[in-house]
Chains A and B, each alone.
Chain A
Amino acid sequence: MTLIAETKAYAHRGSAWGDILRHPATLWLISAVIVAGAWEIAGRWPISPAFPPFSDTMSALAGLIADGTLGKALIITLKPLAIGLIASVVMGVGLGVLMGLNRFAEWLGSPIFVIAQSAPLAALIPILTFAYGIGLTAKILTVCIMAMPVIVLNSLNAVRHTPATLLDMGHSFLATRRQIIFKIILPAASPVIFAGLRLGCAAGFIGVILAELLITPTGIGDIITYNQSVAEYEKMYAAIFAIMALSVLLISLLEMIETALFHPEKRAQS
């Protein structure tokens, strides 16, 4: 027990203040304050009349929340986003893992995603509207096109880079194919798969806003476009801020899920 006892003792040696200062939430708060402060200063300078200070943006945000505009817009925006992200996560991880396990599937599928990841996707949107109209389908597809490639390619690479000696270990202890996949490959791949999920979800948010700006202005995209056209920039930035905050929230949620499922903090650098 000595080794563990020692590490614990060491962790407790720091002062209470030190613990608070080193807590991730504190760092988070400090960096948020710095960004908000810089934004406030830049807005008051002013860099441009189209760039309102942080405080004005926040009061505009409060107004949008109070009169229900933001809530209504979010419901509209979240629909293609949620459908697109769920489809991207499920299919992306599924396809990526399948391609990682099976050379033929990789040969068949990976070029599509490699091209999709490097293509300028905004350029594809006109084609999408041509094929699927300007409704929900085109918006969901935009989210998928943005989110899926990085999820697929990360899952593929994560699976492909399972340490060979862990696979040998599994085989030597007579693991079945199923056990190799679920007890060795997936746990080994989980950190990189989750990194892909975080990037993919962030890209999905970009996708839905892009769709709402370029296809038809609805939801958050509508608030942005409308307020830009009437030069109410605080409201425009408030809407952008709201969607970014939501994106950060979702990514934090993903981190919590990963921690609960795979204990990444336990494996450290070994």
Chain B
Amino acid sequence: MSPAAARKIEARHRPMVEVRHLSKIYAGGVEALNAISVDFPEGQLTSLLGPSGCGKTTLLKIIAGLIPATSGEVMVDGRPVTGPGPERAFVFQDFALMPWANVLRNVAFGLELKGVAQSEREAVAEKHIASVGLGGFEHAFPHELSGGMRQRVGLARALAVNAKVLLMDEPFSAVDEQTRRKFQEDLLELIAREHKTFLFVTHSIEEAVYVSDRIVILSKRPSQVSAIVEPEIGRGRDPDQIRRDSAYLDTVETIWQSLKRYLD
């Protein structure tokens, strides 16, 4: 990316999440992140792509305030992160639903913890359950739902607290390919509608190129930013057309070439 292009982006989107010289060494001595610095622009979806075990989950959890960094700092909306905060919500890879609670209670759980009155939080939850396409399942329990439906519950729960930043750790990796494509379409719609900042971890290059405004490619552990790609594919077209588009295919190929060298 040229400096001029970089300035253009900075001007259009101020960074919502700023990661500065972040390092993480786990108790066992594993060095997961090595002085990594990266920005996540407001209102955009930024993907983290990198070899397995390179520290993507670690980075996301530090940004979420779930684990402490060894050194360096994270700023969200201009304020340093010292723990979880109301402006961030996490979508978990394994959904993290409470099996003893129905969909309604699961989705409303963030608000329940905040002490929002039951009728009020259930009204908010119902709205988000409908918005992720689960209307009618409010009283179903997680074990009665498919993997794809469970992840929609996880997404609705994150949306219900109305956080500015959504942290998603491989949210679609546990669902089948058809559901995954549907999810990607829905996610694009969501980004257009909600004006939130999305941090999205994925293993799939195609998925990253398809849904991202920006892709941060990480190197092998200990991780550093190896490249930043901004897929210039026109949105709002027929999905199948996009997937055949040469710009889309070229971007996928470029990223594949840069990731390939990390395979052993």
Contact = CB atoms under 8 A, between A and B. Distances in A.
Interface of A: 1, 3-4, 7, 163, 165-166, 168-176, 179, 183-184, 187-188, 190, 262-263, 266-270
Contacts of A262: 100
B92 A170 contact: no
B5 interface: no
Nearest to B110: A173
A174 B92 contact: no
Given A169-B92, A171-B84, A269 B98 contact: no
A168 to B, nearest CB: 5
Contacts of A4: 137, 140, 144
A267 B61 CA distance: 28
B113 A174 contact: yes
Interface in B48-93: 61, 64-66, 83-86, 88-90, 92
Contacts of A165: 92, 94, 96
Contacts of B114: 174
Contact of A172 (B66, B102, B112, B137): B66
Given A174-B86, A270-B143, 4 more contacts: A3-B145, A171-B83, A174-B84, A188-B100
A54 B136 CA distance: 55
A170 B140 contact: no
Contact of B96 (A1, A169, A174, A183): A169
A213 to B, nearest CB: 42
A187 B100 contact: yes
Contact of A7 (B92, B100, B144): B144
Nearest to B138: A1
B161 A173 contact: yes
28 contacts: A1-B136, A3-B137, A3-B145, A4-B137, A7-B144, A166-B96, A168-B61, A168-B66, A168-B90, A171-B83, A171-B84, A172-B64, A172-B65, A172-B84, A172-B90, A173-B89, A173-B161, A174-B114, A176-B113, A179-B113, A183-B113, A187-B100, A187-B101, A190-B100, A266-B141, A267-B141, A267-B143, A269-B143
B105 to A, nearest CB: 10
A263 B100 CA distance: 7
Contacts of B90: 168-169, 172
